[in-house]
Amino acid sequence: MTPTLQLAVDLIARPSVTPEDEGCQALMMERLAAIGFNNEPLRFGDTDNFWSRKGDSQPVVCFAGHTDVVPTGPEANWDNPPFEPKIIDGMLHGRGAADMKGSLAAFLVATERFVEKYPNHKGSIAYLITSDEEGPAHNGTVKVIETLEARNEKIDMCVVGEPSSTTLVGDVIKNGRRGSLGCVLTVKGKQGHVAYPHLAKNPVHMAAPALAELAAEKWDDGNDFFPATSFQISNINSGTGATNVIPGTCEVVFNFRFSTELTAEILQERTEAILNKHGLDYDIDWKLSGQPFLTDKGALVEAAVAAIKNVTGRDTELSTSGGTSDGRFIAPTGAQVVELGPINATIHQVNEHVSADDLNALTDIYEAMLVELLA
């Protein structure tokens, strides 16, 4: 096996279900220390993180990722045990193969190769690794960034190893992400008997016209990089379970995925204006999971596009589709951010796997990016 595949196997064999790390970060730090990196373990709450850096000048090119993985589900449903990685017909199988221990291995081997060839490289190379990306993300990257910001230590360019590719490695890189704004709305009515509706107030009936208006609302038109903002109701809950009781409250959970055309504050104001127009009595609890971010141009995007072309011969597509990633915590500091990783077809699924050849190609792409940016 290549060095990248061997390291990926070593990482996958550690059952680091979020927020556990199971020694993955210690293994990475040992390899980084051997090539001149200064390691800084940073544990917050139940989460292991580390910041590691080689060099003390700008620009700082950072590799960011996570060692935690999602639960496997019933292991009996897997063709091969999820934490016993195995290459089958050219595919590396195991939980985390694609999301994202394969990328971590490619990061590290690419860095080792680059440092060997360019021991006196420009700028700095850094690693920001967490074990809290697949969980609530309260004690991971966000806390490391707060630590760096407090001492004015800046990341200039960041490659996040999330599985961005669709059908061929490097065919898509994410140069931004939509914002995510969640909400729990509780509409208040008055409980009563269904036979005496005049003595009650049905919060489901009261909420329905407002929800219909929210669902039909055109929030924006998007822009060249983002689709139009999306409003989606994910849950409605009300009632006692009895057919003859008008409920006293109705709880509605919904989410906005929004572009850079809007802010979270504008979405909140417009939503509450619609609720107020319908005369609802309600409580509302907003949660902003991440602001939208975009790196539309610059040295990092150019280096990624060129490296993919040089290694694979293919042109890449810049995209902002998909969910959120830890890039949402890094981009607000002013860093250029791209997500570049393997094919995402099997992430979080039973029998997660990734092409062994793709991980080797990804290693070459990361190394070529370092050459372009720091050689």
Catalytic positions, written as ranges: 68, 133
Quick one: tokens of 342?
Answer: 């393997």
Half-sphere exposure of 176 (CA within 13 A, CB side): 22
DSSP assignment string, 282-324: EEEEEEEEE--EE--SSHHHHHHHHHHHHHHS---EEE--S--
Residues 181, 288: contact at Cβ < 8 Å? yes
CA 320 to chain CA mean position, Å: 12
Q: Is the CA virtual torsion 201, 207, 209, 210 positive or negative? A: positive
Could you check whether the bond before residue 59 is cis, i.e. omega within 30 degrees of 0? yes
Could you check whether the bond before residue 19 is cis, i.e. omega within 30 degrees of 0? yes
DSSP assignment string, 38-96: EEEEEEETTEEEEEEEE-SSS-EEEEEEE--B-----GGGSSS-TTS-EEETTEEESTT
**Residue burial 141-175, b: 16+ Cβ < 10 Å; e: rest:** bbbbbeebeeeeeebbbbbbbbbbbeeebbbbbbb
Burial class (CB in 10 A: 0-12, 13-18, 19+), 218: exposed
Residues 60, 53: contact at Cβ < 8 Å? yes
